[in-house]
Amino acid sequence: MRFTDKSIVVTGAGSGIGRAAARQFAAEGGRVVAADLTEGADETVRMIADAGGTAVAIRIDAGAEEDVARAVALACDRFGGLDIMFANAGISGGMANIFDTDVALITEVLRVNLIGPFLAIRHAAPEIAKRGAITGKGGAIVLTASVAGIRSGAGSPAYSASKAGVINLAQVSAQQLSGSNVRVNAICPGLTETGMTKPTFDYARDAGKMDRVGRLNPLRRGAQPEELAEVALFLASDAASYVNGQAIAVDGGLSSSHPVTKQEYGRTAV
């Protein structure tokens, strides 16, 4: 019960990693504000309530300042303050190359994927610091970046640039929050079965090609949302009390290597 009586905001809580994290936070005693642009947040809250947890839903645009401020205010009003922010909401922006990417598209991707986490830090950090000053304990902000933000090859130019920005934002904000006892870290998922990637997984299942999903990483599979949520919860917990300003890749080992000739276990592939 790592999060007993902790007040937590999760954006993008209507599906995927956000839903998995919200449910796990609540299962471990947390009181969760499940924020999402869709009605999926209501379903997440129903799941949490059915399991005996505490949560409230709010419909927000994670890239709109007024909406992010409303989510933080709801946590403070309903649960007496804020301890943890998991800024997880994001969009893919498709797979167009640089020359086919419309300026309006990349602007929207950056608004949600990068400005969204910026707003989450801007509004959550002061409340988390305030709560920490009262309780004597620190708090945490976790951002969802991506392996696409580490290097090329895992996403479109718009998506990759936005996630690279999230990684740097975690580093810069950790420094600028020095002395506040508010930690900021990011997770960098690899291929994970979420609403965003559902078409890829559905196609692979229908075509009998699930063995090809995630085949470029050493574990040779995609991830489930719960596997990413576990790392986010670790970073939000007191167990990560000395982890700050980091971007943790959770990608089955994909980002551990540059492209090389593949090897089968125990022998060289030809």
User: 99-126 pLDDT, tens per residue?
Assistant: 999 999 999 999 999 999 999 999 999 9
- Residues 178 and 167 sit within 8 Å (Cβ to Cβ): no
What 3-state class would DSSP assign to 237?
coil
Residue 270's pLDDT band, with cuts at 50, 70 and 90, is very low
Q: Give the pLDDT confidence of 212-267 residue by residue, as tens digits.
A: 666 778 888 888 999 999 999 999 999 999 999 999 999 999 898 866 655 566 66
Per domain, the residue ranges of the chain are 7-196+224-250
Pick the residue with more confidence: 66 or 254? 66
pTM of the entire structure? 0.91
Q: Out of 159, 203, 242, 265, pick the active-site residue.
A: 159
Q: Is 96 helix (H, G, I), strand (E, B) or coil?
A: coil
Residue 159 annotated among the catalytic residues of the structure? yes
CATH topology of domain 7-196+224-250: Rossmann fold (3.40.50)
Within its chain, how far is the Cα of 87 from the centroid? 6
